Copies of this chain bind each other. A is one copy, B any other.
């Protein structure tokens, strides 16, 4: 145990933040806002890269704390550190490029008849201080310095993180790394704050605070909906980007099944389903499988694969308990058949399970089949034809992902599914599994409600920066008073839209 980690543990032991701490953090954020939002692209990008470097400097202590607090394997956590720093550096690149500033210039037309046209210029500005709620299942990449924080900072917004109570030391260590970068960059301390505490009250106080102008959240549907309701009920409602729940339907088409190595396909499915105890937003919770012999064979291979998996320790006792409740409800549902279970892995490490259910239960909101069980529980639904499948897909709620397994022989069927799936999900993938969300420019980790509270965006990938901005137009503003981004001499070398046409 390093001394840094010891220090973080002492901090955690001593600090159960209550609402006054929230108020202090939001006040500091509000005071930091004018300075931080005025940073140049280079300053802000340098700062984001410095945050990544400071996290790397404490990598050993952070990994050790995160493994201890999350029960996740060291290799996974080490990978997550890389994902977190990579994400920060990606946003540094986005900020340097400056396309997110969305510069538009409609030059004056003094001679236009019947009325001259004014000079009008548009750029994006930062919304204001952002509250970020860390996720239980990604103590780094979706937490203190994760995607929400990185994209909000990239947009020019100070951030107040409510650390997740399941990994307070990890969060504190990460927060200290970010704050060191803030200090070294000469930015106001309030550019980044970290508050800790178990209570729902603390989160509510943060969302209700009038200085907070947007919220990022990754977690449960209940938590996300509560935050969205609180934000909507404020005297000044604010946007909430809550990434909540998804069962990520997978459709295996007959051709894919016929051509596949059945055992390998089943093992890949079970691998995705049980990865990290199934504690992923993109866990493949629902699989549509053709009726008939090939499907039977896949199900048998799946049963074998599941039976060979031993449960891994889940993140928290509460999550393990919810998994137990959810899988019991499935077992107790008329018409649901347990295909196979793995072995329990000891305390807080329940057995993975695959069950089979009739399609009709999907549409029954009271049925256990219709709800996400967070963890390694998969439901298989058999179907006769793609035509019979469509209404069931259509009846599903909004999803983060939808997957099709298809070969060239399935082309017509896959094409028939696509229009429905793209209205249901933020990401459509072929011949793969939805776990493993690439951080990049084209990624969408979002989707229609209730997968998220706001389908118009993504919480992973560079588009996420747009969540924390709003446009301002400058009309006939004297040249020397214009913000750099919209000046004629274009000091930041930005791509601009002139009269609607990109330069």
Q: Chain A interface (Cβ within 8 Å of chain B)?
A: 34, 38, 90, 93-94, 97, 99, 102, 104-106, 115, 117-118, 120-122, 125, 127-128, 228-229, 232, 236-237, 239, 398, 406, 408, 411, 414-415, 418-419, 422-423, 425-432, 436, 438, 440-444, 446, 448-450, 453-458, 462-463, 469-478, 480-481, 495, 497, 499-502
Least CB distance from A198 to B in Å reads 28
User: Contact at A97–B463, with CB atoms within 8 Å?
Assistant: no
User: Contact at B430–A444, with CB atoms within 8 Å?
Assistant: no
User: Contact at B500–A471, with CB atoms within 8 Å?
Assistant: no
* Chain B residue nearest to A471 in the complex (CB): B444
User: Contact at B499–A428, with CB atoms within 8 Å?
Assistant: no
* 24 pairs of residues in contact across A and B, judged by CB atoms under 8 Å: A90-B500, A94-B500, A104-B463, A105-B442, A127-B455, A128-B423, A232-B232, A239-B454, A239-B456, A411-B478, A411-B481, A415-B481, A426-B472, A427-B473, A427-B475, A428-B475, A429-B476, A430-B478, A432-B476, A441-B497, A441-B500, A444-B472, A448-B470, A502-B502
User: Contact at A472–B432, with CB atoms within 8 Å?
Assistant: no
Least CB distance from A275 to B in Å reads 13
User: Contact at B121–A473, with CB atoms within 8 Å?
Assistant: no
List, in ascending order, chain B residues with CB within 8 A of A232's CB.
228-229, 232, 237
User: Contact at A430–B99, with CB atoms within 8 Å?
Assistant: no
User: Contact at A118–B239, with CB atoms within 8 Å?
Assistant: no
Give me the 4 closest cross-chain CB pairs, A-B, nearest first: A429-B475, A444-B473, A104-B442, A441-B500
Q: In the complex, A344→B426 CA distance in Å?
A: 57
Least CB distance from A76 to B in Å reads 13
Least CB distance from A33 to B in Å reads 8
How many copies of this chain does one complex carry? 2
List, in ascending order, chain B residues with CB within 8 A of A102's CB.
463
User: Contact at B426–A120, with CB atoms within 8 Å?
Assistant: no
Q: In the complex, A346→B285 CA distance in Å?
A: 69
User: Contact at A442–B122, with CB atoms within 8 Å?
Assistant: yes
List, in ascending order, chain B residues with CB within 8 A of A478's CB.
406, 408, 411, 414, 430
List, in ascending order, chain B residues with CB within 8 A of A125's CB.
422-423
Q: Interface residues of A: mostly helix, strand, loop or mixed?
A: mixed
User: Contact at B97–A501, with CB atoms within 8 Å?
Assistant: yes
User: Contact at B106–A438, with CB atoms within 8 Å?
Assistant: yes
Q: In the complex, A456→B241 CA distance in Å?
A: 13
* Chain B residue nearest to A232 in the complex (CB): B232
Partner of A429, one of B425, B444, B455, B477: B477
Least CB distance from A358 to B in Å reads 24
User: Contact at A470–B455, with CB atoms within 8 Å?
Assistant: yes
Least CB distance from A150 to B in Å reads 15
* Chain B residue nearest to A472 in the complex (CB): B422
User: Contact at B502–A99, with CB atoms within 8 Å?
Assistant: yes
List, in ascending order, chain B residues with CB within 8 A of A440's CB.
106, 117, 120, 499-500
User: Contact at A427–B472, with CB atoms within 8 Å?
Assistant: yes
Q: In the complex, A463→B470 CA distance in Å?
A: 11
User: Contact at A442–B237, with CB atoms within 8 Å?
Assistant: no
Q: In the complex, A226→B461 CA distance in Å?
A: 35
Least CB distance from A346 to B in Å reads 29
* Chain B residue nearest to A107 in the complex (CB): B442
User: Contact at B120–A442, with CB atoms within 8 Å?
Assistant: yes
User: Contact at A106–B497, with CB atoms within 8 Å?
Assistant: no
List, in ascending order, chain B residues with CB within 8 A of A415's CB.
481
User: Contact at A473–B430, with CB atoms within 8 Å?
Assistant: no
Q: In the complex, A473→B445 CA distance in Å?
A: 8
List, in ascending order, chain B residues with CB within 8 A of A446's CB.
470-471
Q: In the complex, A236→B221 CA distance in Å?
A: 13
List, in ascending order, chain B residues with CB within 8 A of A426's CB.
470-473
List, in ascending order, chain B residues with CB within 8 A of A480's CB.
411
Given contacts A232-B232, A463-B122, contact A469 B456 (CB under 8 A): yes
List, in ascending order, chain B residues with CB within 8 A of A502's CB.
99, 495, 502
Q: In the complex, A227→B104 CA distance in Å?
A: 31
List, in ascending order, chain B residues with CB within 8 A of A436's CB.
115
Q: In the complex, A299→B232 CA distance in Å?
A: 42
* Chain B residue nearest to A422 in the complex (CB): B472
| Additional A-B contact list (13), CB under 8 Å, known A430-B478, A438-B475, A444-B473 | A104-B441, A105-B442, A127-B455, A229-B232, A411-B481, A414-B481, A426-B471, A427-B472, A428-B472, A432-B475, A441-B499, A443-B473, A495-B502
